[in-house]
Amino acid sequence: MDKYNNIPQKSTQYRVATEPCVLHIVYNTRREVGLSAQQILWGTLALITGCMIVLRHWKTKNTIPFNEWWAEMTKITNYEQLIFKLNNRQEVFWEIWGPYMNTILNG
């Protein structure tokens, strides 16, 4: 099967890829890598946060600072930790956010 489908619209032909997006690939390979569903959601959140920051700087000529992503992720981490603490589910927080928190604390 051709990896592109031709979708006619008005007088222009659009080619749409039928191969999965990055998030779909990550989600389907999580069993092979040993990631939990929560860790996949964390990866999705991190990717979407990065996309949001790229959009903030889309029309500027400056480079996008990594520290901006880091600051946004840290804010989200604080909110998430508070929510999990209020629900008495800190072990789930550490399962999801543990690798990121270890990087912050040790690095």
pLDDT digits (tens, 9 = 90+) for 53-78: 999 888 888 888 889 988 999 899 99
Q: In this model, does residue 41 exceed pLDDT 50?
A: yes
25 — pLDDT class (breaks 50, 70, 90): low
**For residues 12-28, average pLDDT:** 51
Query: How confident is the model at residue 38, as a pLDDT?
Result: 79
What residue numbers bound the domain in which 19 lies?
4-106
Which residue pairs from 37-40 have beta carbons closer than 8 angstroms and sit at least 24 positions apart in sequence?
Answer: 38/92, 38/95, 38/96, 39/95, 39/96, 39/99
Q: How many domains are there within the chain? A: 1
Report yes or no on whether pTM surpasses 0.85. Answer: no
Whether 6 shows a pLDDT value over 70: the answer reads no
